Amino acid sequence: MGILFGGLTRRDAARSYYLFSVVASATGRNAYFVMVAWIATDVSESASALSILLALGSAAELLTSNVGGALVDRFDRRLVCIGCDLSRLFLMLSTGLGFLFVDLIIVLYLSWTIFAIIDRTYSTALQAIIPSIALPENLRSFNSVSYIAMQAGNLIAAIVTGFTLTAIGRDLTPLLPSAFFILSLLGLLALLGQQPLFFSRHGSKRKSIRRLDLLPTTFALHSLKAIAVIYALIYAMGMLVSVLGSAYVIHELQGSALQFGYLEAGWALGSIAGCAAFLFGRSLWRRQSLLFHLAFAGAILSGFFVLRTYQFALVQMVVLGLSYNIARVLIDVRVQSTVPIGMLGRARSQIHTICMAIGLLAYGLIAVAGDAILTSEIFGFFGVLMVAVALFFYFRMNRGERVESRLV
């Protein structure tokens, strides 16, 4: 229970402050995502606006992810997170003011693009802190607890934001994520006061950063390439479901903002269940776990095209959330256990660069297609692609060709 509620030691206190920040930040982030996705769909009456949002955010992250990773490896990671929280807070307030005086779609495009850059740097820094406050043998369990905390925040945001959009309208909605980013900031300031921390000693001998490390095409960690591609497809699936889910609810299910919030809550509940499984069933995770979840999530995603009902969509969101977050825990443990602590920021950002490259291609195609393709059809096509890639990797492995030394 010390991991969850703290104890008498500095490390227990650090873990408690860390998890508090995770919950608060995740609540603010998901509240922002739900807000933007719903308002963009409602105002534009088109799914193409969402695909443009996704493409803008992905392009921004693709070009700047490695820069953020380099910053994480150069400076105190807690200070990087604090700076990002202050930046996100200012952005939320600016977005709210922009709603009053500027075209809503333009405000959302600018806000989403800037937020993507800030939030990616924050997430990289937050993940890079974990090996410093958790022992190597506890990485899997603490990552699981961390993701449970994150999804608890997502669950809170999904319910509260849907209600807020219905009750007070969109102009005041940016105040909701702002409040949670303030709470995240307070948790990080408390974490900063925990001196000296384990990661302070390990972070002092980080390798110098080359200019090449800042390029979005750089991927020096060749052993992680296959895992990165698989994870990128799973990550892109998560973004598609989270953002295009609003278009699916509005245009195909004729639902409300509250129902969209319930779908997001279903995703969060499934995610919590998936992360909790790591705490009780260690023997479940085999070598091909990521491959299995790539194919499994693809098959479930394709189901949106087959059966279009709200009840079925709710079940799908729970299952997809479960599979998605199991895959995220697997990749994070793999990276944290094999990459030197001084390179974690760059390693995580390099993997995310591949995520954004694949995601940007997918979102670009959706933006070009516009409203000619239904949201359920997009889900179906992408799900088939995920299954096809999983089969490709599986048969290459069976022929004895080494795709990856270990797929977690």
Residue 268 domain flag:
yes
pLDDT of residue 8: 45
Residue 202 covered by a domain: no
Helix axes 10-44, 175-192, angle to 10 degrees: 160
Calpha distance 403→397 (Å, rounded): 6
Of the pLDDT bands very low, low, confident and very high (cuts 50, 70, 90), residue 239 is confident
pLDDT digits (tens, 9 = 90+) for 10-54: 667 778 888 999 999 999 998 888 888 778 877 776 656 777 787
Which pLDDT belongs to residue 330?
80
Question: pTM for this structure?
Answer: 0.71
| Residue 3 is assigned to a structural domain of this protein | no
**Confidence band of 87 (pLDDT split at 50, 70, 90):** very high
Note whether residue 213 is domain-resident: no
- Number of separate helices (H) and strands (E) present in the chain: 14, 0
In a domain, 217, yes or no: no
Which stretches of 53-212 are assigned E, i.e. beta strand?
none
Q: Which of 52-66, 195-209, 265-279 has the lowest mean pLDDT?
A: 195-209
**Is 383 a domain residue?**
yes
User: Is pLDDT above 60 for 89?
Assistant: yes
Distance of CA 7 to the CA centre of its chain: 29
Average pLDDT for the chain = 76
Residue 45: left if φ>0, alpha if ψ -120 to 50, beta else—which one?
Answer: left
Helical pair 10-44 and 139-167, crossing angle rounded to 10 deg: 40
**What is the arithmetic mean of pLDDT over 243-253?**
77
Query: What pLDDT does residue 13 have?
Result: 79
In terms of average pLDDT, the best of 291-295, 335-339, 346-350 is 291-295
Predicted local distance difference test score (pLDDT) of residue 402: 52
Whole-number pLDDT of residue 399: 56
Which residue range is the domain that position 60 belongs to? 8-194+222-398
Higher pLDDT pick, 196 / 295: 295
- For residue 140, give both structure tokens: 């899997």
Rounded Cα–Cα distance for residues 7 and 55 (Å): 44
- Amino acid identity of residue 335, one-letter, is V
Q: Which of the two residues, 62 and 111, has the higher pLDDT score?
A: 111
- pLDDT(207) > 60: no
Burial of 44 (0-12, 13-18, 19+ CB in 10 A): middle
Number of domains in the chain: 1
- Maximum C-alpha span of the chain: 61
The average pLDDT across 315-333 equals: 84
- Amino acid identity for residue 51 in this structure: S
Contact 244, 376 (CB under 8 A): no
Task: Retrieve residue 5's tokens.
Answer: 């509620």
pLDDT of residue 88 exceeding 70, the answer is yes
| C-alpha closest to that of 251 among 156, 334, 370 | 370
Of 61, 298, 27, 265, nearest to 53 (Cα)? Answer: 61
Question: Is 405 within the bounds of a domain?
Answer: no
Q: When comparing pLDDT for 91 and 129, which is higher?
A: 91
| For range 52-77, the mean pLDDT | 78
Nearest to 335 by CA among 387, 290, 394: 290
Percent of the chain at pLDDT > 70 equals 77
Can you give the CATH number for the domain in which 112 is found? Answer: 1.20.1250.20
pLDDT value at position 83?
92
Locus of tokens 């609540």: 27
Task: State the DSSP code for 343.
Answer: G
- 61 vs 28, residue with greater confidence: 28
pLDDT attached to residue 287: 44
Confidence class of residue 209 from pLDDT cuts 50, 70 and 90? low
Per-residue model confidence (pLDDT) at position 110: 92
Give the residue with greater pLDDT, 132 vs 243.
Answer: 132
Give the single-character DSSP code of 172.
T
More confident residue, 164 or 323: 323
Segment 85-111 shows an average pLDDT of 89
Closest CA to 294 of 390, 395, 405, 393: 390
Residue 71 is assigned to a structural domain of this protein:
yes
CA distance 286 to 178: 41
